[in-house]
Amino acid sequence: MTQTSSFIGGRHVPSLHTYENIDPATNRPIGQVSRANADEVDRAVTAAAGAQREWRRSSPEQRSRLLVEVARLIRADRERLAVMESQDTGKPLSQAYADVDVCARYFEFYGHTIESYYGSAIPLGDDMHVYTRREPYGVTGHIVAWNYPLQLIGRAAATSLATGNCAVAKPADETPRTTVRLAELIDQAGFPAGAFNVITGLGAEAGDAVAKHPGIAHLGFVGSTGTGSLIAHAAADRVVPTVLELGGKSANVVFADADIDAAIPSLVRSILQNAGQTCSAGSRLIVHRDVHAEVVEKMAAAFSSVTVGRGTDDPTLGPLVSAKQLDRVSGFLDRLDGGEVVTGGTQPDGLAAELAGGAFFAPTLVNNVDPSSEIAREEVFGPVVVATPFADDDDEAVALANGTDYGLVSAVWTQNLSRAHRVAAEIEAGQVFVNTYGAGGGVELPFGGFKKSGYGREKSIEAFDEYTQTKTVAIKL
């Protein structure tokens, strides 16, 4: 079997110790992955620091040109990247293609906008010239989740490199291949050797070493709230800034005047995309009692038509990322206390024999769920949505929407413009959609959470502020 290895200083660095890369559709190995340790992390940080001494002096025009070239190379390698992403994550191939396109878009977007990112002049008086500079931190570290490997590392790498930093990335244990391939493309585009390095391995070993390395000046993490807390503690010990994009329990709030038929496709897509393994998945339905039964019936009907299979066969719904994740999702249903499982709740029937050992879970709708129950408050991270009715009071709907520790994304479905603005202002979430659901939104939209969904913002031009520090220069004339 082939070995996916770390990429440090512009070349592959295999390890003596490896672990198996598992196909979640069959639970069988598809290759070996280098199990890097703290020594490889140290080599990667050293390589990044060396490259950054050159890269920090590059012009915005130079950065722009190379970032746009990376976008071109990603698009040229679209087929290979999408297949690897689909095989590693289990997601349907069409969704993997979309992830490749979005990754390319990050490099293109930040390549175009970095030339318009400036400091400011401050009018302090005629005898003073005061201005600010936005300067890079140095070496940035990135530890990302397995659900959207290319998208997550693409937005981090593009922002870091655009602002004059160099980077060390640790992809998730389960999904390393496309991040390593991205590193090859960044090197091929002409960035300094060591500008972007990838460490493959286990989170408890390589990821921990990245989080604690004294040479990393800024940390970014995407993953669970529990692990994010550990990352934040490691950063606090060294007094370095972090961007944390953590869990979510996002709500679709459906009012009685909503266009239900127009809403259903988005409600379904918001929970089934990537098998519900999305931090911004629409995993809660908060529905006015007058349309509650209609929404539940139409959601169940839509779930019944979902096709399930291997990601590379491009079904509607692929497997979960691993057997471990399947056990986690199943556990929520096993522990269910109250509510009615309208559809799903188990592994699906009728799978091909070769997929019998795969990590598949049927699209699941649980109705009349107590909003204080575990399944209504905690992140399931699977194709499971819970429905809760509310009465006429808009304040009740807002209270239910805000009734978890998370605050990443929400949506409001109504034809009343005043209500839409009022409720959007009251919902505690980093993004609020009205009559649509973006599941994180586009490259141009700031993305990040309230409460235990994390802090800091990625995507959009706002991300430049996260990856630079302000220096004020005051000159007496």
Angle at which helix 60-76 crosses helix 78-89, to 10 degrees, equals 70
Q: φ, ψ for residue 451 (rounded to 5)?
A: 50, -135
Run of H or E including 5? none
Closest CA to 249 of 97, 401, 44, 476: 401
Contacts with 79 (C-beta within 8 Å, 6 or more apart), sequence order: none
In this structure, how many other beta carbons lie within 10 angstroms of the beta carbon of residue 418? 8
Q: What is the C-alpha separation between 111 and 109, in angstroms, rounded?
A: 5
Percentages (nearest 5) of helix, strand, coil residues in the chain: 40, 20, 35
Distance of CA 121 to the CA centre of its chain: 35
Residue type, 183: A
Contacts with 77 (C-beta within 8 Å, 6 or more apart), sequence order: 181, 185
Are residues 453 and 408 in contact, defined by beta-carbon separation less than 8 angstroms? Answer: yes
Closest CA to 253 of 450, 426, 443: 426
3-state SS track over 289-324 = HHHHHHHHHHHHHHHHCCCECCHHHCCCECCCCCHH
Q: φ, ψ for residue 378 (rounded to 5)?
A: -100, 155
Question: What value does the CA radius of gyration of the chain take, rounded to a whole number of Å?
Answer: 23
Q: Regarding beta strands 409-413 and 251-254, do their DSSP bridges make them parallel or antiparallel, or are they unpaired? A: parallel
Residue type, 403: G
**79 flagged as catalytic:** no
Among residues 40, 69, 108, 245, the one annotated as catalytic is 245
| Alpha-helix runs per DSSP H in 383-434 | 394-401, 417-426
Question: Residues with catalytic annotation?
Answer: 245
